[in-house]
Amino acid sequence: MKVRDEAASVWTLPNRLSIIRILFIPVIVFFISTQEDGLLLASCLLFIIAGITDGLDGYLARKMSLTSKLGLYLDPIADKLLVSSVLITLTYYRQIPLWVTLILVGREFLINGLRAFYAMEGIAIYPSSFGKIKTALQLIGISCVLFNIAIERIDAIAHQIGLVIIYGALFFSIYSAVDYLTALFRPPVVKS
């Protein structure tokens, strides 16, 4: 019975949403790579849906008491894979500056590597509010850039708005990384 209960907790609705988000990634990247207007718009819509599932899975896990160890790791991995893959693809098509993508993706590797290391020691590192703001800004900014690519022949303002929002995400990305690193490497306080 216990094994069945543990297996059932793995396939919770929040975990399924995270898996769906991961499955969207190759489709979104493929649609962007076609550079066809209809598929570019579809990539934008899929990315927005994936972004909504990012917030929804955490909300449902807390609201319905469906948190799991798998979900604790699957949700941020799905988020990082989605954002990093689309950032890299958009950089390839010269929609986002390379240096911005390098900093954003590099930060994710650094922080997630530290999270994995500390997880092996039994220490969980939870996202900070600054990290959550960074993620929200990335999702909104990338959505604007994708939308602009799809309707580029009409107006380029969405691209500029998207880049400004991504620069905001860059600020929060660096700030939250410094915040994590400071907290992780702060010498322990010795109480007497």
Q: What is the pLDDT of residue 5?
A: 43
| Average pLDDT score over residue span 173-192 | 78
pLDDT bucket at 191, cuts 50 / 70 / 90: low
Give a yes or no: residue 190 inside a domain: no
Does residue 4 carry a pLDDT above 60? no
Give a yes or no: residue 191 inside a domain: no
Does residue 185 carry a pLDDT above 80? no
The pTM is what? 0.85
| Average pLDDT score over residue span 135-148 | 92
How many domains, in total, are found in the chain?
Answer: 1
Give a yes or no: residue 78 inside a domain: yes
| Digit-coded pLDDT (tens) for 74-118 | 888 899 999 999 999 999 999 999 999 999 999 988 888 887 787
Q: What is the pLDDT of residue 1?
A: 35
Q: Which residue has the tokens 């959505």?
A: 143
One DSSP character per residue, 77-121 reads HHHHHHHHHHHHHHHHTTSS-HHHHHHHHHHHHHHHHHHHHHHHT
Report d(CA 146, CA 86) in Å as an integer: 9
Give a yes or no: residue 110 inside a domain: yes
Give a yes or no: residue 142 inside a domain: yes
Specify burial of residue 54 (Cβ count, 10 A radius: 0-12, 13-18, 19+): buried
Residue 61: which CATH number? 1.20.120.1760
**184 compared with 47, residue with greater pLDDT:** 47
**72 compared with 150, residue with greater pLDDT:** 150
User: What range defines the domain where residue 40 resides?
Assistant: 2-185
> 65: left (phi > 0), else alpha (psi -120 to 50), else beta?
left
Give a yes or no: residue 192 inside a domain: no
Report d(CA 46, CA 40) in Å as an integer: 10
Q: What is the pLDDT of residue 3?
A: 38
Residue 172 C-alpha from the chain's centroid:
13
Give a yes or no: residue 130 inside a domain: yes
Mean per-residue pLDDT over the chain, rounded: 84
